[in-house]
Chains A and B, each alone.
Chain A
């Protein structure tokens, strides 16, 4: 479902004398439907960078990034947008929303985007929010005013609203209490059971053990600096 072949990524800083910073080189990995892979490596090793390259948020310098038959490294913007709408979900560490939009609509939006009827979309959103212990009295408020933990749970609810065949999860269990953590792990297991290919970053080792089928250490993709 997700397959990377020899992907590299570098940043060119034009305003700092054109410095080129290579951050990733020779990254190859594959994820089958129903499989969950954990990315490991020290902070700064490039776990999130790899995820952003797969999502098309960072432009790969070379290599192939195949997701559901689309090469994200080369696809036109509208093909990547269609891929993100239908196929590839991403739960980032930050919630970014239009101010003033109620939480319930924020969570329902990915479903509306794929043509689910508004009532059905809001029902699904309500189920997810309730499951993640966001009190119903907050659903009509914008999540911009919520606490960090609440925003993160809204972000997870939004990420799991549509049943994406491929998902990227950036620290989905960080800073959650035991009960919510269990709910998130259950959502991940349900997604695997319906055949989703998942790549996740988990600092929480127990969570990683529980849901990941194998791990990939991204330090292997860090360019070797010539001494």
Chain B
């Protein structure tokens, strides 16, 4: 099977400082990979470098496109990469307001992505927006409300709907449950797991919450000082960590 995403020796520098370096891995269709590490370990830099929000200094990010097979997205033209960002890729930001248009209605936020890929039928767009609101458990009656009138958890679910409506194959998530209270977080985890299974999505999730990756991710990558220090099956890395830093990380979690 061809990997959906192949990352090879990816590096991003901030002047002389390392953002992330020597990162290589393959992600296969349907796989969910978690990236953990403390703040400043380079996990968000890595995510943004893969997703095309930052330009990496070295390395390749090869995506298996529907039309042309594996293509290096780093050297791809800007319009082609933007098109990928609207179709096969999705990016869920930690702060929903970074991923939503706050002055546009909930339905408009979902519909915008459909229009970006050429959908022009208003009735069709509205029906799909309503369907997606239902899937992320937002009442259809809220379709014309602006996200600024939504709670934090609802905004996050709306952001997910907006991202998934075009049927992406790869979703990048930056702390998708960060800043939400635990009951809302549980609901979002359940939603994400079901969407991953039903749609066969691949996802890369950056988080510092080990409980979240245990439930969501199949595989785990642990980062420290911009480098990958350990990778493996999620439960194996968490239950039998090999690297000193991972052992420290796992043993530092508070028990409830």
Q: Which A residues are closer than 8 A to B by beta carbons?
A: 11-15, 52, 56-59, 77-78, 80-81, 96, 98-101, 112-113
What are 12 inter-chain pairs, A to B, with CB distance below 8 A?
A11-B240, A15-B244, A15-B247, A15-B248, A56-B233, A59-B232, A59-B242, A77-B231, A100-B183, A100-B186, A100-B190, A112-B197
In the complex, residue of chain A having the shortest beta-carbon distance to the beta carbon of B198: A112
Interface contact A113-B240, CB-CB below 8 Å: no
Question: Given A15-B248, A15-B251, A113-B197, does the pair A98, B190 have CB atoms closer than 8 Å?
Answer: yes
Interface contact A101-B190, CB-CB below 8 Å: yes
Cβ-defined partner of A14 (8 Å) among B183, B189, B218, B243 = B243
Chain A hits for B218, CB < 8 A: 77-78, 81
Interface contact A12-B219, CB-CB below 8 Å: no
Asked whether any CB of chain A lies closer than 8 Å to the CB of B215, the reply is: yes
Interface contact A78-B28, CB-CB below 8 Å: yes
Q: Which of B198-255 contact A (CB under 8 A)?
A: 214-215, 218-219, 231-233, 235-236, 239-240, 242-244, 247-248, 251
Q: Please, how many angstroms separate the alpha-carbon atoms of A78 and B251 in the complex? A: 26
Asked whether any CB of chain A lies closer than 8 Å to the CB of B193, the reply is: yes
Asked whether any CB of chain A lies closer than 8 Å to the CB of B120, the reply is: no
Question: Given A57-B235, A99-B186, A101-B190, does the pair A13, B240 have CB atoms closer than 8 Å?
Answer: no
Chain B hits for A98, CB < 8 A: 186, 189-190, 193, 215
Chain A hits for B183, CB < 8 A: 100
Question: Given A15-B251, A98-B189, A99-B186, does the pair A57, B197 have CB atoms closer than 8 Å?
Answer: no
Interface contact B244-A81, CB-CB below 8 Å: no
Q: Please, how many angstroms separate the alpha-carbon atoms of A100 and B236 in the complex? A: 25
Asked whether any CB of chain A lies closer than 8 Å to the CB of B64, the reply is: no
Chain A hits for B236, CB < 8 A: 56-59
Q: Which B residues are closer than 8 A to A by beta carbons?
A: 28, 31, 183, 186-187, 189-190, 193, 197, 214-215, 218-219, 231-233, 235-236, 239-240, 242-244, 247-248, 251
Q: Please, how many angstroms separate the alpha-carbon atoms of A112 and B194 in the complex? A: 11
Interface contact A13-B233, CB-CB below 8 Å: no
What is the distance, in angstroms, from B167's C-beta to the closest C-beta of chain A? 20
Q: Please, how many angstroms separate the alpha-carbon atoms of A77 and B187 in the complex? A: 27
What is the distance, in angstroms, from B176's C-beta to the closest C-beta of chain A? 14
Chain B hits for A81, CB < 8 A: 218, 233
Interface contact B243-A78, CB-CB below 8 Å: no
The 10 closest A-B pairs by CB, nearest first: A14-B244, A99-B186, A58-B240, A77-B233, A77-B219, A100-B186, A98-B190, A98-B215, A57-B235, A98-B189
What is the distance, in angstroms, from B75's C-beta to the closest C-beta of chain A? 27
Interface contact A59-B190, CB-CB below 8 Å: no
Cβ-defined partner of B240 (8 Å) among A14, A15, A59, A78 = A59
Chain A hits for B193, CB < 8 A: 98
What is the distance, in angstroms, from B34's C-beta to the closest C-beta of chain A? 11
Q: Please, how many angstroms separate the alpha-carbon atoms of A13 and B240 in the complex? A: 10
What is the distance, in angstroms, from A31's C-beta to the closest C-beta of chain B? 22
Q: Please, how many angstroms separate the alpha-carbon atoms of A77 and B218 in the complex? A: 8
What is the distance, in angstroms, from B32's C-beta to the closest C-beta of chain A? 10
Interface contact B31-A78, CB-CB below 8 Å: yes
Interface contact B248-A77, CB-CB below 8 Å: no
